[in-house]
Each structure stands twice: as structure tokens, then as C-alpha cells.
Chains A and B, each alone.
Chain A
Amino acid sequence: QLVESGGGLIQPGGSLRLSCAASGFRVSGISMSWVRQAPGKGLEWVSIIYTGGYTYYADSVMGRFAISRDESKDMLYLQMNSLRVEDTAIYYCARASALDTWGQGTVVTVSS
């Protein structure tokens, strides 16, 4: 099971950290991803962290977002800086490269 938290309303240029609590498996043993969905739009893969610690980002968030994990707590994080209006979306954490399990999502709204 995956449970996200940390979403909210934030002004453009601000920062937010999303969290995802995993249960039933160890985040250290599998790759973990963040996927987002803007209102009325399709799905966009934001970032992934592999078991070896390698990280990848979509071009749209490169240099602004950072994915990390705390293996001792089985937690996944997404630090989001320099937020833009177009980052407004539901953010989901998902397990494995083929996204077999998803959280319920957390809503991020970037607006002045």
C-alpha cells in the first residue's frame, strides 16, 4: 500500500515536499516513481529512483524537483522547488518501473 501526503496550495516560485509511505514491502528493494496528472489531462511520469540510487526526471521538472527515499522508514519523497502554475496536478507515487501499485494521490495547486 502507498499513501501520499504533503500536497496543498502554494504560490508560484514556492517549494513543497511530498511524502509517500509504503507498507507491505521495502522501498529499498524496488524502484519507485512519481507520476502526475494535471486537471483534465493525461498521465505524466515525473521521476524515478532505482534501487541503486540512480534517479531520472522528466525534462519538465529537471533541475527543480528531487526524488529521494528513506529506507529506514520506507518513505519516498519528492522535493519540488521553483513551482510553476503548470505543476498543478494530482501527484501519485507508484511502485516499480511498470507501476504495479499506486497511491491515492495528493493534490498540488500552484496559484497566486
Chain B
Amino acid sequence: DIQMTQSPSAMSASVGDRVTITCRASQGISTFLAWFQQKPGKVPKRLIYDASSLQSGVPSRFSGSGSGTEFTLTISSLQPEDFATYYCLQHNTYPGTFGQGTKVEIK
């Protein structure tokens, strides 16, 4: 199975900060990567698909990049509603695998 290593596992940031989260795949997955946001007690919400395509309705401060084995999710200016846990997902081969998650907390 493909392993997804997500970093950092947690971080503290302030409103307005630029935040970058990284996912590394144990083997190449082309651009079969998505990013999800999950708030406590809520259903995960897809933010990015195909590594860099913004889901409809998601604010443009979210962006994704990468291909092959290295991917990033960037939040250009962190907003109060962005404090959540973020997960990457590879769906190049099955079963699909998620990263361990990155919890973004308020500094």
C-alpha cells in the first residue's frame, strides 16, 4: 500500500499567517491527491482535488500544488474559520490512503 506522510502533525498559527502543509507519498501517485478539512464533530469537506484544483465554493486562499510524491496545501492568509484538521488523500491505487492529519490551532 502507498503510505502518505503528512507534516507537521500539528501547528500553531495566527490569523493572517501563511500556512503550508506537506504530504509525501511513498511512491509516485501522479496528481491523484485531494485535501480535506475537518472541524470537530463535523464531516470532512474536500478543499482540493487533482492536487491543485479548487473545489467549488472553497475560498481562493486555499491552494494545492505538487505531483508525483510531494504535495503541499497552502492557506495564504489564515482566517478564524480555518482552524481545523487537514488531511491529504491519495487515490492513485487502492485502497486509498490518508495522511495522518495536521491540526491547525490558534497561536
- A-side residues, CB < 8 A to B, are 33, 42-48, 56-59, 92, 97-100, 102-105
Contacts and interface: CB of A to CB of B under 8 A. Distances in A.
B43 A104 contact: yes
B92 to A, nearest CB: 9
Interface stretch (B12-20, B68-76, B93-101): B93-101
A104 B44 CA distance: 9
B1 interface: yes
A97 B96 contact: yes
Interface string B68-107: 0000000000000000000101010011111111000000
Nearest to B53: A98
B96 A45 contact: yes
Interface of B is mostly: loop
Nearest to B100: A42
B34 interface: yes
A48 B23 CA distance: 23
B44 A102 contact: yes
B87 A43 contact: yes
A57 B96 CA distance: 9
Contacts of A92: 43-44
Contact of A103 (B32, B43, B45): B43
Given A45-B98, A56-B94, A99 B89 contact: yes
Contacts of A100: 46, 49, 55
A46 to B, nearest CB: 8
A42 B101 contact: yes
Interface in B8-55: 32, 34, 36, 38, 43-46, 49-50, 55
A108 B96 CA distance: 21
B95 A58 contact: yes
Contacts of A105: 43
29 contacts: A33-B96, A42-B98, A42-B101, A43-B38, A43-B87, A43-B89, A43-B98, A43-B101, A44-B98, A45-B97, A45-B98, A47-B95, A48-B94, A48-B95, A58-B95, A59-B1, A59-B95, A92-B44, A97-B96, A98-B32, A98-B49, A98-B50, A98-B91, A99-B46, A100-B55, A102-B43, A102-B44, A102-B45, A105-B43
